[in-house]
Amino acid sequence: MLIVDSLTDHPSTLLDTINSPRDLRHLSLSQMSQLAQELRDTIINTVAQNGGHLAPSLGVVELSIALHYVFDTPRDRLVWDVGHQSYAHKLLTGRRDAFSTLRQYKGLSGFPKRGESPYDTVEAGHSSTSISYGLGMATAKCRQKDSAKVVTIIGDGSMTAGMAFEGLNHAGDLGKNLVVILNDNEMSISKNVGAFSSFLSRKMTGRTIRRLRDHIEDRLMALSSVGENILSVLRKSEESLKGFFTPGMLFEALKFKYVGPIPGHELEDLIATLENVRDHNHGPVLVHVITTKGKGYKPAEENPGDYHGVGPFDIATGIQKKNSSAPISYTKVFGQTISRLARKDKRVVGITAAMPAGTGLAPFAAEFPDRFFDVGIAEQHAVTFAAGLALEGLRPFFAVYSSFMQRSLDQLIHDVCLPNLPVTIALDRAGVVGADGPTHHGVFDLSFLRYVPNLTILAPKDENELQHMLAFCLEYEGPVVIRYPRGSGEGVPLEADFVKLPHGEAEMLREGADLLLLPVGNRVAAAVEAAQLLEAQGINAAVINPRFIKPLDGKLITELARETGKVITIEDNAIQGGFGSAVLELLQQNGLQVPVRMLGYTDAFVEHGSQAVLWKNAGIDSQGIVQAAVELAGR
């Protein structure tokens, strides 16, 4: 492996000659194998410095080369599902020199981005969208008499989502010339679950089935002409070995031509197969490719889940460079607290959508395996499944990232809140999340959740308050959402005993006569700091920790708003329809006409960058709050 100290000062490589896929198509097979190694070296070196999605991108290096070698990109469209496996694709499509800026503020996105390159066909950050995208594109090309191909690349983990099957079902019905590459590595972020995953298992589709097929062919050939005749019949039968011993039976039932399984790291096999598929013009084709997640970097191959998305790490050891003195994360506090609640109450169950580690539920799963449910990448099902559990007396806690919860709004409204069921949604990664960017920022949840009847919404000011809120959820007879941010808490001690939180009651943190600061969740600490800075400028700011975003503590907020005469709301969320809007509605309903300044994200998608930079840009860090307060106070 070529490991260099500086990504901008390295010896000349074959990769240096690849400025577009056109250059790739002049290479020999041996040169492409060399290129694959150089791509892996570059990806490993860059992710070691910047963090990123390492294992997914290492697993599709050969597949990326073969796709760009065979298909006439960008005229032929490549649609990457999720998009976190697109690093080799970026390196092959003219972004080599900028690759060192991957996931950095103002640098390359960690996902496909249409504004970044004509080779990026969609903005992909959530799973299971590629087939629907691709089918729409293929249908449009057919109507426009455009013979260009559309190829979607989807992982077996993403195939656990219902949307993928909706796309497959429609594609089979329309019969368009869509190519679906099923990248089968038995992993999504954590190890796949579910019946479909078992159906695709390489135990049946990898070496075992090939050996079985070869063994049957050898035995039949030994029967002279009789065996040859039988073998000829079997080879011609679409429902023979392929139908009984591979997942082809399922896909062919959906009217796809099934090809595979084929080894995903053998360039010669990949290229030959893709060339045949490229020339197929008789309806949709699915190519089943077997790959190894983390291929080429031993720590990632051995523990692909740990290296799905990583921070900076030491290449020699694979150990991530973490700040050992950082406070405990909100995610870890959630995991610890739900386990603590489960020890006391047998009704508590935990649910995740393919992310037991990322949501902090892995320890709960180990301790309470019969009370833990991983539903796969199926957030919609998870919410209604939780509703079913609650209907029979259990207390389900569904841990999910804010941006992924967007998929489950209808289920939350219709299946949980309408019947007023005691389901708790633990909304992790609320607010901006950093380098993953606009597809993963959780900046819309307050806006799309606030209007739902029967729903209580909370946001803790620190990690200690989070545990008390979770205890509140266990006792509350109705649906609750708790939103908390990515990353470390405020460094406050965790109290041994739970504190009872009265429903809808806010917390007065600081008295003040000149204006009222109303921060939400992780913005409370910044607001308290801002109030201290304002005091030095002669401005006496009151600070309330709302705790409850819905229902608001109308009595306390209106009293302080009336006394101070000026209000600033601060939220790690979109301004439109968010917490500030709720405060404006409250004041209007109470006949209060006071100046209100709302701080949050404007009507635009938030780019990728560190949380600190994005908070500063939005004016919701302590300095931004001070500036807004000074302007509002007219000083």
d(CA 611, CA 400): 20
Whether 308 has a pLDDT exceeding 90, the answer reads no
pLDDT (tens digit per residue) in 352-409? 998 999 999 999 999 999 999 999 889 999 999 999 999 999 999 999 999 999 999 9
Q: What is the reported pLDDT for 374?
A: 94
Greater confidence, 73 or 316?
73
d(CA 442, CA 573): 7
Whether 304 has a pLDDT exceeding 50, the answer reads yes
- Per the DSSP assignment, residues forming a β-bridge with 391 are none
Residue 524 — very low, low, confident or very high, per pLDDT cuts 50/70/90?
very high
Nearest to 177 by CA among 292, 31, 283, 35: 283
The reply to whether 321 belongs to the active site is no
Greater confidence, 472 or 306?
472
Nearest to 449 by CA among 432, 425, 419, 466: 425
What's the pTM value of the predicted model, to 2 decimals? 0.85
Nearest to 47 by CA among 100, 126, 107, 85: 100
* Over residues 611-625, mean pLDDT: 97
Asked if residues 149 and 163 have their Cβ atoms less than 8 Å apart, the reply is no
Q: What share of the chain is helix, strand, coil (3-state, %, to 5)?
A: 45, 15, 40
Nearest to 61 by CA among 81, 45, 82, 41: 41
- Per the DSSP assignment, residues forming a β-bridge with 569 are 518, 598
Contacts of residue 32, defined as CB under 8 A and 6 or more positions apart, other chains included, come to 24, 65, 69, 267
* Over residues 274-298, mean pLDDT: 91
Asked if residues 356 and 365 have their Cβ atoms less than 8 Å apart, the reply is yes
273: how many CB neighbours lie within 10 A of its CB? 20
pLDDT (tens digit per residue) in 418-443? 999 999 999 999 999 999 989 999 99
User: Which residue in 96, 113, 141, 293 is the catalytic one?
Assistant: 293
Percentage of the chain surpassing pLDDT 70?
A: 88
- Per the DSSP assignment, residues forming a β-bridge with 385 are none
DSSP label of 413: I
Mean of the per-residue pLDDT values of the chain: 88
Greater confidence, 189 or 612?
612
* Over residues 32-45, mean pLDDT: 94
- Helix 524-535, helix 622-633: angle, nearest 10: 50
Asked if residues 419 and 518 have their Cβ atoms less than 8 Å apart, the reply is no
Tokens 């360039």 sit on residue = 267
User: Which residue in 40, 103, 395, 407 is the catalytic one?
Assistant: 407
* Over residues 245-253, mean pLDDT: 71
Q: What is the reported pLDDT for 204?
A: 39
Whether 242 has a pLDDT exceeding 50, the answer reads no
Q: What is the reported pLDDT for 9?
A: 46
Asked if residues 610 and 437 have their Cβ atoms less than 8 Å apart, the reply is no
The helix/strand/coil state of 365 is helix
d(CA 277, CA 290): 17
The reply to whether 293 belongs to the active site is yes
What distance lies between CA 193 and its chain's CA centroid? 17
* Over residues 540-554, mean pLDDT: 97
Alpha helices in 121-223 (DSSP H): 130-143, 162-174, 195-200, 202-205, 207-221
The reply to whether 40 belongs to the active site is no
Asked if residues 285 and 257 have their Cβ atoms less than 8 Å apart, the reply is yes
pLDDT (tens digit per residue) in 159-205? 888 888 899 889 998 999 999 999 988 654 455 555 455 444 433 34
The helix/strand/coil state of 488 is strand
pLDDT (tens digit per residue) in 79-126? 999 888 899 999 999 999 999 999 999 988 888 999 999 999 998 888
* Alpha-carbon distances of 182 from 289, 311, 466, rounded to whole Å: 6, 28, 40
CB-neighbour burial class of residue 277 (10 A; exposed 0-12, middle 13-18, buried 19+): buried
Asked if residues 394 and 349 have their Cβ atoms less than 8 Å apart, the reply is yes
DSSP label of 256: P
First to last CA, the chain: 60
CB-neighbour burial class of residue 594 (10 A; exposed 0-12, middle 13-18, buried 19+): middle
Which phi-psi region, left, alpha or beta, contains residue 296 (left: φ > 0; alpha: ψ -120 to 50)? left
451: how many CB neighbours lie within 10 A of its CB? 12
Whether 220 has a pLDDT exceeding 90, the answer reads no
Residue 232 — very low, low, confident or very high, per pLDDT cuts 50/70/90?
low
Show the 3-state SS of 501-516: CCCCCCEEEECCCCEE
d(CA 615, CA 362): 30
Q: From start to end of 205-320, where are the E strands?
A: 257-263, 285-290
* Alpha-carbon distances of 404 from 215, 318, 343, 429, rounded to whole Å: 46, 29, 29, 10
d(CA 613, CA 488): 16
d(CA 271, CA 24): 13
d(CA 321, CA 327): 15
Residue 230 — very low, low, confident or very high, per pLDDT cuts 50/70/90?
low
User: Which residue in 252, 379, 463, 571 is the catalytic one?
Assistant: 379
| Phi/psi at 320 (5° precision) | -75, 145
Tokens 């708003």 sit on residue = 561
d(CA 277, CA 258): 10
Can you list the domains of the chain with their CATH numbers?
57-85+114-292 (3.40.50.970), 330-483 (3.40.50.970), 507-633 (3.40.50.920)
Residue 481 — very low, low, confident or very high, per pLDDT cuts 50/70/90?
very high
- The Cα diameter of the chain in Å comes to 101
Contacts made by residues 194-201, CB under 8 angstroms, sequence distance 24+: 194/160, 194/375, 194/376, 196/159, 196/160, 197/156, 197/157, 197/160, 197/376, 199/247, 199/250, 200/156, 200/159, 200/247, 200/288
* Over residues 30-50, mean pLDDT: 93
